[in-house]
A = this chain, B = another copy of it.
Amino acid sequence: MGASKTHMFSVTQNELAQVAKVLAHPARIAILEYISRQENCICNDLVDVIGLSQPTISQHLNEIKKIGLLKGTFEGKNLCYCINEERWGELQNSFNTFFTNINYNCC
């Protein structure tokens, strides 16, 4: 087929995979790193810094926003994207749990 058979897997497995998918693009890693370094985020800055077109950046931001990692507020005339600290902590936890729960009792 081509579509992932998500229904065959648990909610937890699908959620972790979904978050991983958002992190599975260097542009989105770069965007998150850049936002975290700034006091404010202005999309137009991202276009210059990342080096992709404005629509592409906008789409990447949307992917990140979909999993709740960004919250946006208005400041002056520019939309300000910020890291959602609570959600960020949740995801860090999810990944850490996944990595920690793996055993090596094989072979």
Contact = CB atoms under 8 A, between A and B. Distances in A.
Nearest to A80: B107
The oligomer's copy count stands at: 2
A106 B69 CA distance: 13
A103 interface: yes
Which secondary structure characterizes the binding site on chain A? helix
Nearest to A98: B29
A79 to B, nearest CB: 11
A23 interface: yes
Interface of A: 4-6, 8-10, 13-14, 16-18, 20-21, 23-30, 32-33, 35-41, 50-52, 71, 73, 75, 80, 82-83, 85, 88, 91-92, 95-96, 98-107
A106 B41 CA distance: 8
Given A14-B26, A18-B24, A36-B103, 10 more contacts: A8-B50, A9-B29, A13-B26, A17-B28, A29-B98, A35-B106, A82-B106, A83-B104, A92-B96, A95-B99
